Chain A
Amino acid sequence: MLSERIKKALALLKLEKVEGGDYGKTGYHVEAAADPGQMPEVAKAMLAEGCFLESLTAVDYPAHFTLVYHFASYEELCRTVVHAKLDKRLMATSITAVYPAANWYEREVYDLFGIKFAGHPDLRRILLPLEADFHPLRKDFGATASNA
């Protein structure tokens, strides 16, 4: 079972949390929580298990950002989610060196949330104009009449 192998591989990294998920309810087979700085190691472990990066995004909470990484596999049905809480004053760590797919996803997160990724080769805005001075998915970018 791929989910067992992933749990074993992630357990070696001493993450904050690695446990089985409730697939019927959330769509996850493995749920993990990590420090943003551990993400390159996590990505390497996931790549070694043959998983691909399905999506990378963030959520803006009042006290912190949470980076959300989804991994899946072509071989076997197994979705892994990794949540990484990020202090709003700190930088995240890029996993582009492991997964080139992360290049654009991280640019998107930077563009929409203003989260910077250390070690990213080309951290520019991707969807919004380069000269934009706001990050629209931050909760303090409010819904006014014009953008609601």
Chain B
Amino acid sequence: MHEPGQEEKTYVLNFGPQHPSTHGVLRVELQMEGEFITKAAPDIGYGHRGHEHMAENRNYQQFLPNMGRVDYLHALAYNQGYCMAVEKLTGLEVPERAEFIRVITAELNRIASHLLWVGAYLLDLGAFTPFLYCFDDRENILDLLDRVTGSRLTYCYYRFGGVPKDIDDEFMAGCRAFITRLRGRFKDYDDLVTKNIIFIKRTRDIGVISKEQCVRYGLTGPMVRGSGIPYDIRKSEPYSVYPRFDFEIPIGERGDIMDRYLVRIREMAQSLRIIEQALDKLPDGPIMAEKVPKRIKPAAGEVYQAVETARGEFGCYIVSEGDIKPYRIKLRVPSFGNLSILPEIAVDTLVADLVAILGSIDVVVPEIDR
């Protein structure tokens, strides 16, 4: 790194907080030696809204809209995690049809999140065209979800005991059309991105994470699956009606950025499979449990419910003291744990690679900050 006799110089570089590739307000303080990073210290909390504090001052229903605003890209998984935790705490049974609708919409939302990631991530790496393709596809999902949930982002669609609005034929036809469309697009993505030599050079063997690091840092989601650990809550800790569907958990081998990219691309295809099966098997019946109390007042106790979001494990930990307000809610968010490994894997990389590595973690900063 240094010419002989040249004076050694380190300097500090502020990466963010206002930088397009931080995907939100995230600052990483870098100590540099030339182009190489010797220390990376993420500085988070710019978007801290105190969701957990809000939870203690609201009743259970009033906290529901907050769940669309933690991870705004996969809000329905948060809806699901929180609703399931409260349902477990109160013993509410969700009708089968509602579970199917939850799975269909949550999987659509997962694909939308992955599509946004692919587009925005390639933009980070300097490829502009895939961004347009991805957003074009994602727009279809937003229209579909808008139809049933009433919003394009920050969904608040699930309720304790079911869902408030049934899906109709038009929605189902739209889903099927989208499945066909996206399946036809995977080849385009492959040709455009996966086989692109610049992309391969930027991602192969960069930002490698070992299995052992996964355990020590408690990583979840595509971050562990890229490293070859088939850990997906939908399979590892089955919830809702996921056990009834046939799908695979794609994993990588080397644990580099390329593997994490491939895991996400393949996951979209698996989500399509789930949606297709769910549409085929969709049972008739009610979409809300019959007796949902107006005031949710669980008995004293605690519960931990995990669900798989697009970024990894969301764990909803609720402590109830028998009141209409939760005594404590802890949101175990995947990006928080996933980002905490950055200081370790960023050392001795180039600044340009840091952009690639940080992007490959797929952080949603408001989720980390809560």
Contacts and interface: CB of A to CB of B under 8 A. Distances in A.
Interface of A: 25-28, 47, 50-55, 57, 59-60, 68, 70, 72, 74, 77, 79, 81, 99-101, 103-104, 112, 125-129, 136-137, 141, 143, 147-148
Contact of A77 (B44, B219, B229, B236): B236
B315 A55 contact: yes
Contact of A27 (B48, B88, B217, B340): B88
Given A52-B216, A81-B304, A127-B44, 12 more contacts: A25-B301, A25-B303, A27-B88, A47-B215, A59-B327, A99-B218, A100-B341, A127-B45, A128-B45, A129-B45, A136-B53, A147-B50
A54 B303 contact: no
Nearest to B42: A104
Given A126-B44, A137-B52, A55 B330 contact: yes
B333 to A, nearest CB: 9
Interface string B301-330: 111111000000101010100000001101
Contacts of B215: 47, 50-52, 74
Query: Which 5 A-B residue pairs are closest in the complex by CB-CB distance?
Result: A127-B45, A55-B332, A27-B304, A101-B218, A143-B57
27 contacts: A25-B301, A28-B304, A52-B215, A52-B218, A54-B306, A57-B317, A57-B330, A59-B328, A70-B332, A72-B306, A74-B229, A77-B237, A79-B304, A101-B217, A101-B340, A104-B336, A104-B340, A127-B48, A127-B369, A128-B48, A136-B53, A137-B53, A137-B56, A137-B328, A143-B56, A147-B50, A148-B57
Contact of B231 (A26, A28, A74): A74
Interface of B: 44-45, 48, 50, 52-54, 56-57, 88, 214-219, 224, 229, 231, 236-237, 301-306, 313, 315, 317, 319, 327-328, 330, 332, 336-337, 340-341, 344, 369-370
Nearest to B227: A74
B301 A26 contact: yes
A55 B328 CA distance: 14
Contacts of A104: 336-337, 340
User: Would you call the interface of chain B mostly helix, strand, loop, or mixed?
Assistant: mixed
A100 B237 CA distance: 25
A70 B305 CA distance: 12
Contacts of A136: 50, 53
Contacts of B340: 100-101, 103-104
Given A81-B304, A136-B53, A25 B88 contact: yes
Given A25-B88, A52-B214, A55-B317, A100 B304 contact: no
A63 to B, nearest CB: 14
The winner among B224, B319, B344 for most chain A CB atoms within 10 A is B319
A74 B328 contact: no
A96 B217 CA distance: 10
Contacts of B217: 52, 99-101
A107 B368 CA distance: 13
B145 to A, nearest CB: 28
Given A27-B88, A147-B50, A54 B57 contact: no
Contacts of A126: 44-45
A27 B315 CA distance: 10
Nearest to B84: A27
A70 B315 contact: yes
A47 B215 CA distance: 8
A127 B304 contact: no
A55 B48 CA distance: 18
B327 A54 contact: no
